[in-house]
Structure 1
Amino acid sequence: MNSDLLFITVMYIDKFIRKTAVDIEPCVHGGRIVRELRKSGVKPLDFSANCNPFGPPDKEKLKLVINKTLKNIDWYPDNEYIDLRTAAARFSGVELENIIPSNGSSELIRLIMQTILDNGDMVILPQPTFGEYELSIRLSGAVPEYIKYEAVYRDSGTITDDMLNRSKLVIICNPNNPTGTFISKTDLEILAKRCQECETFLVIDEAFIELCDPSSSMSTYVNNNPFLILIRSLTKIFTIPGIRIGYGIAHREIASKMNNLRIPWNVGSVPAAVGTWLMDTHYKNPAFLEQSRELINIERDWLIKNLGLIRGFDPVPSSTNFILINIHDFGMDSVMITRCMQQLGILIRDCSSFRRLDQDYIRVAVRSHKENQQLIDTFSKSMELWGKYLAKKSIHEALQRGKTFSNTDCEYYPCHFEGQDCTFCFCPFYPCEDERTKGEMITRSTGDQIWSCMDCDLLHRPDVAKAVLEELINCEGNIRDLKKIWKKVVEPLL
């Protein structure tokens, strides 16, 4: 192939690939420790991934299981996965024939869609929710019908019989990611029965159910309802995201079809052995998971209370090990606060990739008490970092404008007094920590301290703003000269 023809082929490569794959974009996920470690060389504290705060159980025994399996690493895995499926069946209260092993829940989501959906099928998809559902729906050529998750959470009857009759499948994440809300077992029983009557599949993702309320699992209903499929993951409940292992639960006929369609040897020998050991061990002795739920409940309640004390934070009530926070009134959007926290060594989940959330929400995992306290403290530090950034931005904008002005169209005008100058919406000297300005160090309800300039109006006085701007222009906005400008212009006024 000559170079011109190769260039043309590459330019129009979309013509030659599957139509449903052309516009597919990868989902955004949390758990970016490796990426941050590669960039900075420092391991961050990760609140972006929703794993059990107790961490992997009994690491020494886990090593023994892994090392034992490595002795036979030159063998193919058993593609029937009898041991793994038997352990999963016991753990979930079903039979071996109901289990579909998978390389994590994301692979299982793709397999479910490939098994059930045809081109043009409708899928009821409450939003906001886990992004992998929509990706797999669209890749299968099906069409998602968006409804508000909050409406379904409050009343599952929001999904009408008419909607069910025109749809092939309904997906419910329970507890839901990212909201943490939980639909009762009673409501899901009713919905599952209605789906069966309408011959519409109901897929329930129970990835977090063991960290919430395992008694509310719908696993025992699959044998009486061939239209019910459940997704389970060991990643979250045992904190083993590096070992990809999950499983599906379905009526034996559906499970058989899915096992026929899944990729051969889709679960490696090591993940299969680890998954088998974990489920066997914790089926016999559930103390680890019981203690995990107890810790999560205590720490989640503490974290929600203290997050709610941060001005502009509105945490959404949660039933599991993560919390969605509305930050619309915080001052920073989700992108900016995520970057600020990242610079301070903490990863949080920017939720702007979720439908309906825009840049108004972030999500944090529930971790140990010491780590949760560190999260609260770092949020406060991020506010100070943000204040300094806004101060620099204010200088830049003032220099570009080159003259002072009053922004009478601002919704907050006048924030200090009528006729005030608005050149420096954010003080370029923040935080000056000089109480003569009528500013003060205040102790927030979270216990940390932050400099407040609420009662200082110096930079809003027209003569002061003009003098500061002239000095900034003279020094070409050099931040190093701010102390000199302070002494020359502001100090004499105190």
Structure 2
Amino acid sequence: MNWPSHGSNPQYLYKAMGQSLPVDYTDFSANINPLGPPSSLKEKWPEFYQEIFVYPDPHAIKLKKIIAQKERIPDQSILIGNGGAELISLIARMLTGKRVLLIQPTFSEYENACKANNCDVVYHQLREPDFELNLDELHKKIEIADTLFLCNPNNPTGIQYPSSTIISLIKKCEQQNCLVILDEAFFDFLEEYDSFIPYINTCSNLIIIRSMTKMFTIPGIRLGYLVAQPAIVKRLNSLQAHWSINTLALLAGELCLQDESFIQLTREYICDERKRLFTFFKQYGFVVSSSKVNFYLLKDPLLDDQFPLFEFLLNKAVIPRHTVNFPGLEGKWLRFAIKGREENTALMEVLADWHNHH
């Protein structure tokens, strides 16, 4: 099947499929908060206008202080980035020429950034449908790696790995002098979460990446941060371009991170919608990954290659994310974000239609 390349810009996807973008469509391919940005951001936005006349604070002192107080770490352990993507790029530059271990399927940006910096990339493949980490196999591969990238909860499966497993990996990597990059871009969607940030106080081999674009629906602004021991932060900071974080991003971040009630409301909303969707999928015979966040993998078990379902959905103006460029998935699953109640209901109606006619 001729799968098109795919990101979060649906006009390119439809063009590659030889179709025009429908006037009304629902994009399930971008994993951002269906509730949109916090209302406080819209209220304050006009006030931000006057701030664009001055240069941003290159040290992001206010935003760092908020994160430092929230996470109980020193300011020197925090680096603010232009979204998670910039932080991944900086880490990859620091790793130039090193051997990097990736746990597949995972976010493709790790491999792209590492290969651009001449890293030797090796893989540990998870097996569907449970996508469980096999620690015995993984430990052997850690012994020959300089760095391990671990996405938790994982993109694209949405699966949260047990805390004991993560701790075991951090400790094993520490023994082997292997750096651990723990990407927590979706941690704040989890109902139950044990923070790994306290481990940076004792582990000089741990970097934790966090995105602010997903929870607060600000992908157009680009904002994220990482946490590590001050020596690592200092090294990464020296590789960062000047003025990479703009004033609007800093102001938005300061506002959003203080809105605890918004984060809690989002978690409850996503949990309710996920339960409703998964009950429907089970009833209609679709298979889904055991996601704990705001997106999940889905497949019709009667199809090995999900292209016919993908095409059917696009014709109905429903846009999922295909998985052809996720090693180990190769189009055998589709990824969907959890959207608003109405959009999720519309998705269920379209999938019921597919089920009834196939």
Shorter-chain TM-score above 0.5:
yes
Alignment of 1:144-155 (within 5 A): 144-150=121-127, 153-155=132-134
How far 1:185 sits from its partner (Å)? 1.6
For the residue of structure 1 that corresponds to 2:193, the secondary structure is helix
For the residue of structure 1 that corresponds to 2:231, the secondary structure is helix
Residue 211 and residue 93 in structure 1: after superposition, are their counterparts in 2 closer, same or farther (change >3 A)?
A: farther
Q: Which residue does 1:223 correspond to in 2? A: 201
Residue 301 and residue 245 in structure 1: after superposition, are their counterparts in 2 closer, same or farther (change >3 A)?
A: same
Q: Which residue does 2:135 correspond to in 1? A: 156
Residue 67 and residue 176 in structure 1: after superposition, are their counterparts in 2 closer, same or farther (change >3 A)?
A: same
How far 1:165 sits from its partner (Å)? 3.2
Q: Which residue does 1:100 correspond to in 2? A: 79
Unaligned runs of 5+ in 1: 1-26, 384-443, 445-449, 453-494
Residue 206 and residue 214 in structure 1: after superposition, are their counterparts in 2 closer, same or farther (change >3 A)?
A: farther
Q: Which residue does 1:45 correspond to in 2? A: 26
> Contact conserved, 2:25 with 2:318, CA < 8 A, in 1?
yes
- Is residue 296 from structure 1 mapped to residue 270 from structure 2 by the alignment? yes
- Is residue 253 from structure 1 mapped to residue 231 from structure 2 by the alignment? yes
Q: Which residue does 1:76 correspond to in 2? A: 55
| 1:357 partner amino acid | L
How far 1:43 sits from its partner (Å)? 4.1
How far 1:334 sits from its partner (Å)? 3.1
Alignment equivalent of 1:133, drawn from 95, 110, 135: 110
| 1:130 partner amino acid | F
Measured in 1, the distance between the counterparts of 2:324 and 2:299 equals: 11
> Contact conserved, 2:105 with 2:329, CA < 8 A, in 1?
yes
- Is residue 354 from structure 1 mapped to residue 326 from structure 2 by the alignment? yes
Q: Which residue does 1:324 correspond to in 2? A: 297
How far 1:41 sits from its partner (Å)? 6.3
| 1:343 partner amino acid | N
For the residue of structure 2 that corresponds to 1:353, the secondary structure is coil
Alignment of 1:4-403 (within 5 A): 30-33=7-10, 39-40=20-21, 42-58=23-39, 61-115=40-94, 117-119=95-97, 121-150=98-127, 153-160=132-139, 162-213=140-191, 215-279=193-257, 281-282=258-259, 286-311=260-285, 313-330=286-303, 333-381=305-353, 383=354
Measured in 1, the distance between the counterparts of 2:5 and 2:109 equals: 9
> Contact conserved, 2:5 with 2:13, CA < 8 A, in 1?
no
Q: CA RMSD in A?
A: 2.4
Q: Deviations over 1:395-427 (max 9, x none)?
A: xxxxxxxxxxxxxxxxxxxxxxxxxxxxxxxxx
Indicate the percent of aligned positions where both proteins have the same amino acid. 29
Which fold has the larger relative contact order, with Cα–Cα distance below 8 Å and residues 6 or more apart in sequence?
A: 2
Residue 69 and residue 35 in structure 1: after superposition, are their counterparts in 2 closer, same or farther (change >3 A)?
A: farther
> Contact conserved, 1:209 with 1:217, CA < 8 A, in 2?
no
Measured in 1, the distance between the counterparts of 2:66 and 2:77 equals: 12
For the residue of structure 2 that corresponds to 1:153, the secondary structure is coil
Q: Deviations over 1:276-313 (max 9, x none)?
A: 1111x22xxx22212221221221122122123334x2
> Contact conserved, 2:299 with 2:306, CA < 8 A, in 1?
no
For the residue of structure 2 that corresponds to 1:292, the secondary structure is helix
Measured in 2, the distance between the counterparts of 1:34 and 1:273 equals: 31
Q: Deviations over 1:25-53 (max 9, x none)?
A: xx965432565899546242121111122
Measured in 2, the distance between the counterparts of 1:46 and 1:129 equals: 21
| 1:250 partner amino acid | A
Measured in 2, the distance between the counterparts of 1:346 and 1:187 equals: 36
Residue 264 and residue 289 in structure 1: after superposition, are their counterparts in 2 closer, same or farther (change >3 A)?
A: same
TM-score by length of 2: 0.90
For the residue of structure 2 that corresponds to 1:172, the secondary structure is strand
For the residue of structure 2 that corresponds to 1:305, the secondary structure is helix
| 2:91 partner amino acid | I
Higher alpha-carbon deviation: 168-177 or 254-263: 254-263
| 1:366 partner amino acid | I
Residue 360 and residue 380 in structure 1: after superposition, are their counterparts in 2 closer, same or farther (change >3 A)?
A: same
Measured in 2, the distance between the counterparts of 1:214 and 1:361 equals: 26
The structure with the largest alpha-carbon Rg is 1
Q: Deviations over 1:200-250 (max 9, x none)?
A: 100011000100146323112112111100110011111221221111111
How far 1:64 sits from its partner (Å)? 4.2
For the residue of structure 1 that corresponds to 2:213, the secondary structure is helix
Higher alpha-carbon deviation: 37-46 or 336-345: 37-46
Decide which structure has greater helix share: 1
